[in-house]
Structure 1
């Protein structure tokens, strides 16, 4: 599935103590981080005060982003 030349991002954010991770996808990383930092994104990230970007990667289609997000979410936390 392609939506033109759009870029998608898979990203990982955490809180100040780096104890909680959130993995998500977006087509506008700058806007999405603004939402997280300003508590405009209700849910898990707001509940745990997740607003620090620790990792991101870019893909060229939404399906690749969804596949990568799923892969990252299946990783074990103890590295």
Structure 2
């Protein structure tokens, strides 16, 4: 059964969270975020996974990502990850 993940990354140097979803291996996806690229996460190399949730379908993982992004609230993200 395929596994898809919704995940939240945190960068200490940026003091920011990043929310995403993937069907890739999470360690490999994190490695890509921590490389030099033009995207949002490319400016910092200290991203760590602070939350992950597994789903059976891409649609479920995407829906969870959109739910979290829809909150537009750092407080809600920190509540979800237990800070």
Long gaps (5+) in structure 2: 77-83
* Matching residue of 1:57: 53
1:78 to 60, 75, 78: 75
More displaced stretch, 58-67 vs 12-21: 12-21
Matched positions, count: 74
Runs of 4+ in structure 1 over 4 Å off: none
2:64 to 54, 60, 68: 68
Distance 1:54 1:22 in 2: 10
Task: Say which structure, 1 or 2, has more relative contact order (CA 8 Å, 6+ apart).
Answer: 1
Distance 2:56 2:4 in 1: 6
Residues 30-65 of structure 1, C-alpha deviation per residue, up to 9 Å, x if partnerless? Answer: 21012123x155400112445111111000000001
Higher helix share: 2
CA contact (8 A) 2:5 2:22 kept: yes
Tell me how large the CA RMSD over aligned residues is.
1.9
